[in-house]
Chain A
Amino acid sequence: MAKKLLSGITGICIALLIGAGMMLAQGYDPIATYQALFQFSLFGLSPLATTFKNSVPLVLTGLSASVAFASGVVNLGQPGQLVMGGLLATLGGLYLELPALLLVPIMILLAMLGGALWAGVAAFLRRAFNMSEFISTLMLNMIADFFTAWAIVGPFADRTANSPATLPIDKAGWLPEVGGFNLSVLFMLLAVAGIWFVFNRWKAGYEWRISGQNSLFARLGGCDINKNFVTVMLVTGALAGLAGGLVVMAGPHRFLKGLGANYAWDGIMIAIVAGNGLIATLLYGLFFSAIQTGALGMELITDVPSEISLVLQAVLVLVIVAGREYLSTTLDRLAARRKALAARHNPEGEFP
């Protein structure tokens, strides 16, 4: 645990340093840039609330990837599951006339259903035809992308909008703010708590974890690998779908082009950086959101373009992941050297 925290913090520091180096090379002032970055994301209630709201899709897709990877399921379909969930939720918000107390939960369920169903396609292909979910989820991402692109200029389009989008959803589906924070944050935290509980306290979660580490051992132990695979695909699909739904409900209140954008790929990255740890995913998700949120505001008062956040994130990923292995290996090697010295200085020791 301590190792993980140490490598995480070290990695962040190194990444920020490298980022500062790149900024200097471009002629920007790194200190002012970072100051602006964090000012617009963390210092103050409004920036903090925005960071949290923006972290919802990152954390949820990250969680989806973390749980999947930790369970040995290669679900790379979060981008597709997110948009499908978002679309289904939007449709619910367009065609269902219900009071908020009913509509919100129903839309959330629809979002999860949309994601789960889309993940279910990949799960089905794997179970029925032994098709690797690695490739099928990737292909389904592209297909979902095109499908939703068609849906919002075709049957569900808002003809009056300037860019491709659906009509706005019923006001009852708009997520309000509570204490400055958008309600979507609450749902995100509930999801985190829920999945943590299942993953760590349920029998199913135990089997998922062991299957992810050594599926042969789990099989021999009597775990139903196939059933667990499908369940994990559906659950993680639902998480990604939930992300899509919450984005729609908390943000533009309609499904528009570019909705999924890079959230889901960022989520996968976050899961990797977090080493598939659930709480770590939450924390890194918040951190990445801070960088992204801050960068937008930073663009307003400095000359640094917001795309620097993309580069920062990538550097962070590579540094942390590589650093994690390197640190671990280095610590081990240092320990070994100490032991070797001890052996050398004790040649006449007692025969064991």
Chain B
Amino acid sequence: MDDLILMKDIVKVYPPSVVAVDDVSVSFRVGEIHAVVGENGAGKSTLMKVLYGLVPRDAGEIVYRGKPVVFHNPGEAIAAGIGMVHQEILLIPEYTVWQNIVLGVEPAASFDRLDREKARHLVKEKIDEFQFNLNPDALVGDISVAARQKVEILKLLYRNVSVLILDEPTAVLTPQEIPQLFSELHRLRDDGHTILFISHRLEEVLELSDRITVMRRGRKVDTVEVGTTNKEELARLMVGRNVIFTSRRKEHTPGKAVFRVHDLTYVDAEGRQRLHSIHLEVRSGEIVGVAGVEGNGQYELVNSITGLIEPSSGTISVNGSDITRAPILERRKLISIVPQDRGKMGASVNASIMENAIMTHHRLDSRFSLWKGLLLNYNQARTFTDELEKRFAVVMAARDNLFKSLSGGNQQKVILGRELMLPSPFVLLDQPTRGLDVGSIEYVHEQMLQMQAEGRAVLLISADLEELFLIADRIVVLYRGEIVADLPIENASVEEVGYLMLEGRGLQRDGQKAS
């Protein structure tokens, strides 16, 4: 097969000094599914963005269909037949499916009038051609994530692209939706399309692709044929050492209940019921994992616990104290929170590391007070930050440096450290390992096991089923605001939990779908 695309000696540096792509050369063939794998930060996304024209390269060249090309923007790439579906779905929720698809190439009548009928018709044609099962008039904001992904793909096919770049497409899908995507991709490949597939999920990549390129720290490690490799070898190439894929749980007996949610209900401003009578309990020394597709009530549950929203009814209590309507500061005496989005909720990235470290402690710890509690004791702040740095092995240059100068893993260490140094019996962790590299993920899991050893009660919300099965003692599934399963981990399987997440009810014992 011919090389359709040849990328030679590509270098990309993000200002001021992040070398995202470090002298990479790779080629892609016509009619293949080619996966690009690597950890977070390996440079796979950036490499594809360079190809697509989203990001200008600093060095190297690209040869497409035998001719050197430069795409200054995605428009040029699309015109040449290359299209990219991003990880964050880049659609307009306020517009319908057909509006999203024709945006930029809209059929027009006189006076620039948008020809709605023609647009709808053309889109419907494309939907039928590729058998995508979409309603052209549905608002993109209302349809499922998997459907939105299809709209993104169709958008590109509408413009007659032959090369499709997909960036972590399975990150937003449930286990049950993935096979459908894969069969569609196989169909497209058999039709002659070329598919470039970015991922860090090794099993999927082995199932889907023809060839795999592994990247690490901005460099290409190797390109292999799927038949000649396996998961362990890929992992080794990705990380540089042998990676263990087994559970890290230790046997232990949990203590008494520390955290209790009773009959929790939340009805939102538009009258939709987001939480239905949630009952949940976490015992001392126990890690309870909450699984579920995003949007099934996790947001409301977490924010009810933290105090950002007020539930409609029900109670939340820690060690017997009812905190359902308590002000946030009161809750913080009992709860440690590691929130979902480091930059948006877990820290102030433009403040110094020290200023981030002392949050909440400045109010709860009397050592931080001077002069009738009005002044902040900066000596104590400095001592405290140093202690945090030591205990949690944070790699940082100086306390006063900005928080954003830290790497993602170190940022999470500071946040974890800050939260764990609170004398709280209950810890809430919301997607704590999102966006971290393998080393940092291991670190966070270690810390959670440490929390367990200390007798704290831990509630872990995670979209990563693998992670939950690695570390949780019990697993709870949220579906449409209800808890549809509450199982000890030994009694649960990935398939069953996946099914519960998607359908709300379980498989029968022999693997058949429940009626």
Do A and B touch, yes or no (CB under 8 Å, in the complex)? yes
- A residues bordering B, Cβ < 8 Å? 201-206, 209-210, 213-214, 216-224, 329, 331-333, 335-337, 339-340, 343-344, 347, 351-352
A213 and B9 in contact, given A220-B306, A220-B339, A336-B17 (Cβ under 8 angstroms) = no
Cross-chain contact of A340 among B13, B328, B332 (Cβ < 8 A) = B13
Contacts A203-B376, A220-B337, A336-B17 supplied; 13 other A-B pairs, CB < 8 Å: A201-B375, A202-B375, A214-B344, A214-B347, A220-B308, A222-B364, A223-B363, A329-B15, A335-B17, A336-B14, A336-B15, A343-B59, A352-B216
Let me know if B217 and A213 touch, CB within 8 A.
no
What sequence of 0s and 1s flags, for each residue 338-353 of chain B, a beta carbon within 8 Å of any chain A beta carbon? 0100001111111100
A339 and B13 in contact, given A217-B345, A220-B308, A347-B23 (Cβ under 8 angstroms) = yes
Whole-angstrom distance between the Cβ of A56 and the nearest chain B Cβ:
27
Complex Cα spacing A217 to B19, Å = 30
| Chain A contacts for B17, CB-based, 8 A | 335-336, 339
Let me know if A331 and B9 touch, CB within 8 A.
no
Let me know if B374 and A204 touch, CB within 8 A.
yes
Whole-angstrom distance between the Cβ of B423 and the nearest chain A Cβ:
14
Query: Which of B193-201, B202-210, B354-362, B462-470 forms contacts with chain A?
Result: B354-362
Q: B11 on the interface (CB 8 Å rule)?
A: yes
Cross-chain contact of A203 among B9, B240, B327, B373 (Cβ < 8 A) = B373
Number of B residues whose C-beta is below 8 Å from A?
A: 47
Whole-angstrom distance between the Cβ of B490 and the nearest chain A Cβ:
35
Complex Cα spacing A222 to B328, Å = 5
Let me know if B15 and A333 touch, CB within 8 A.
yes
Complex Cα spacing A339 to B15, Å = 9
Let me know if B58 and A337 touch, CB within 8 A.
yes
Complex Cα spacing A217 to B348, Å = 7
**Those 3 A-B pairs whose CB atoms lie nearest each other, nearest first:** A335-B16, A222-B329, A332-B15
| Chain A contacts for B374, CB-based, 8 A | 202-204
Whole-angstrom distance between the Cβ of A264 and the nearest chain B Cβ:
28
- B residues bordering A, Cβ < 8 Å? 9, 11-19, 22-23, 58-59, 216-217, 219, 240, 306, 308, 327-329, 332, 337, 339, 344-351, 355, 359-360, 362-364, 368-369, 373-376, 378
Let me know if A221 and B355 touch, CB within 8 A.
no
Complex Cα spacing A216 to B344, Å = 7
Which A residue sits closest to B369, measured CB to CB? A203
| Chain B contacts for A332, CB-based, 8 A | 15-16
Let me know if A343 and B375 touch, CB within 8 A.
no
Complex Cα spacing A218 to B332, Å = 12
Let me know if A209 and B351 touch, CB within 8 A.
yes
Let me know if A214 and B14 touch, CB within 8 A.
no
Cross-chain contact of B355 among A206, A337, A339, A352 (Cβ < 8 A) = A206
Let me know if A210 and B360 touch, CB within 8 A.
no
Which B residue sits closest to A211, measured CB to CB? B348
A339 and B19 in contact, given A202-B375, A224-B329 (Cβ under 8 angstroms) = yes
A202 and B15 in contact, given A347-B9, A347-B23 (Cβ under 8 angstroms) = no
Complex Cα spacing A337 to B308, Å = 44
Whole-angstrom distance between the Cβ of B350 and the nearest chain A Cβ:
5
| Chain B contacts for A347, CB-based, 8 A | 9, 23
| Chain B contacts for A201, CB-based, 8 A | 375-376, 378
| Chain B contacts for A335, CB-based, 8 A | 15-17
Which A residue sits closest to B327, measured CB to CB? A224
| Chain B contacts for A329, CB-based, 8 A | 15
A340 and B308 in contact, given A204-B374, A206-B355, A220-B339 (Cβ under 8 angstroms) = no
| Chain A contacts for B15, CB-based, 8 A | 329, 332-333, 335-336
Can you offer 9 A-B residue contacts whose CB atoms are under 8 A? Answer: A201-B375, A203-B368, A206-B355, A206-B376, A213-B351, A214-B344, A217-B344, A340-B58, A344-B58
Complex Cα spacing A221 to B415, Å = 11
| Chain A contacts for B364, CB-based, 8 A | 222
Complex Cα spacing A151 to B339, Å = 53
Cross-chain contact of A202 among B240, B327, B351, B376 (Cβ < 8 A) = B376
A343 and B13 in contact, given A213-B350, A220-B345 (Cβ under 8 angstroms) = yes
A222 and B332 in contact, given A206-B376, A209-B351, A214-B348 (Cβ under 8 angstroms) = yes
Which A residue sits closest to B16, measured CB to CB? A335
Which A residue sits closest to B361, measured CB to CB? A221
Complex Cα spacing A220 to B363, Å = 13
A203 and B375 in contact, given A333-B15, A344-B59 (Cβ under 8 angstroms) = yes
Let me know if B328 and A217 touch, CB within 8 A.
no
Whole-angstrom distance between the Cβ of B35 and the nearest chain A Cβ:
21
| Chain B contacts for A352, CB-based, 8 A | 216-217, 219
| Chain A contacts for B58, CB-based, 8 A | 336-337, 340, 343-344
A203 and B363 in contact, given A214-B344, A217-B346 (Cβ under 8 angstroms) = yes
Complex Cα spacing A20 to B505, Å = 76
Complex Cα spacing A142 to B329, Å = 39
Complex Cα spacing A329 to B15, Å = 8
A203 and B362 in contact, given A210-B351, A220-B328, A220-B345 (Cβ under 8 angstroms) = yes
Complex Cα spacing A40 to B303, Å = 60
Let me know if B363 and A222 touch, CB within 8 A.
yes
| Chain B contacts for A224, CB-based, 8 A | 327, 329
